[in-house]
Amino acid sequence: MNQPDVMILDNVSKGFGEDWDRETVVENLSLTVKRNQLTAIVGPSGCGKSTIVNLLAGFELPDQGTITLDGKPVTGPSKNSLVVFQETALMPWLTTYQNVVFGPELRGDMPKNELKAAADKMIETVGLREFRDKYPLQLSGGMQRRAELARALINQPLVMIMDEPFRGLDAMTRQLMQEFYMRLCEQESRTNVFVTSELEEAIILADSVVVLSNKPASVRELMQIDLPRPRNLDMLSSPEAYEYKRYAMEILHEEALKSFKGTDTSSDFLEAYTRRA
């Protein structure tokens, strides 16, 4: 028996501003988040990815359309859809352990002995046992990211929403975090939405990649990524991964150029973007 989809967005639209000067950022967006899979979202810069994150997490509500989580309408923030943001959200005055247990302690929904056991297991899972009593400023950037993952995962959310979580890390640390997160997802079989501006990151991590249109954002293409698991970063050199990237880049070229339509810079932008690809 197939398990139902975890999260469904049905013809969702969202805008900001007064009625007389309102800007539509997301328009008629329909998206299905599959259970126990990683769905990556990519799109042109400024297309509305952050707004989609806020809608998924319940920080913003749609102007039109519906969002359901496990069959129930999303009406606000919930521990069932947690976000790991680009910027660290660890509280600097708390240790790794104290940060991890903060949410359950605040809600009071876990007995202390169960919470301690769950926190110790989660800290072990993310490889921070020796840094249990360290403060965020005593951790490297990659360690802080892992601590934030542990803090979110201990709540057992139905869906984890990752908002460019490895952005700002140096290249080596970013690769290490990508490899770590691949292993974690493959071992834990969790439901993930992973928003990124890095196409290769989306391809190597995801079961499916959603390519967004230019603003207002809608789903331009849904790519199923059939690379075998377990995966490693060397697979990005395979012909299959190259073809996924080539196809997605063609779409992103078209969508990014819409921002430059009618300007003298459009041809220069296309040439520079093609060289980058």
pLDDT reported for residue 85 = 87
Reference 44, options 246, 244, 252; nearest CA is 252
pLDDT at 5 over 50: yes
| Burial of 61 from C-beta contacts in 10 A (0-12 / 13-18 / 19+) | middle
Q: Are residues 116 and 212 in the same domain?
A: no
Q: Which domain holds residue 110?
A: 92-156
Whole-number pLDDT of residue 258: 77
Position 245 in a domain: no
Residue 150, in any domain of the structure: yes
- Residue 31 domain-assigned? yes
**Is the pLDDT assigned to residue 216 strictly greater than 90?**
yes
Confidence of residue 1 (pLDDT cuts 50, 70, 90): very low
Q: Are 201 and 152 members of one domain?
A: no
Q: Are 53 and 86 in contact (CB under 8 A)?
A: no
What mean pLDDT is predicted for residues 192-214? 95
Q: Residue 258: inside a domain, yes or no? A: no
Same-domain status, 182 and 147: no
Residues 166 and 43 in one domain: yes
Same domain, 148 and 202: no
Residue where one domain finishes, among candidates 228, 255, 272: 228
Tell me: the pLDDT tens digits for 155-193?
Answer: 989 999 999 999 888 889 899 999 999 988 888 888 999
pLDDT tier at 274 (50, 70, 90 boundaries)?
A: low
Task: Give the list of residues 6+ apart from residue 192 with CB closer than 8 angstroms, or none.
Answer: 37, 38, 39, 159, 160, 161, 162, 185
Domain containing residue 165: CATH number: 3.40.50.300
Residue 23, in any domain of the structure: yes
Q: For residue 273, is it within any domain?
A: no
Read off the pLDDT of each residue in 122-147 and give the average, rounded to a whole number.
93
Q: What is the pLDDT of residues 45-104, one digit of tens each?
A: 889 999 999 999 999 999 999 999 999 999 999 989 999 988 888 999 999 999 999 999
Q: What are phi and psi of 148, to 5 degrees?
A: -70, -35
Measured CA to CA, the distance from residue 46 to residue 25 in angstroms comes to 9
Q: Average pLDDT, stretch 189-208? A: 94
pLDDT exceeds 60 at position 22: yes
Asked whether residue 59 falls in the same domain as residue 14, the answer is yes
- 43 and 163 belong to one structural domain: yes
- Can you give the pLDDT at residue 272? 56
> What is the predicted pLDDT for the residue at 217?
95
69 and 193 housed in the same domain: yes
**pLDDT score at 88:** 82
Summarised one tens digit per residue, pLDDT across range 254-272 is 888 877 665 555 555 455 5
Same domain, 151 and 163: no
Judge if 99 and 195 occupy the same domain: no
Does some domain include residue 263? no
Residue 59 within a domain: yes
Do 64 and 162 reside in the same domain of the chain? yes
- What percent of the chain is modeled with pLDDT above 90? 70
Last residue of a domain, one of 132, 156, 180: 156
Query: Number of folded domains in the chain?
Result: 2
Mean of pLDDT values over 25-30: 96
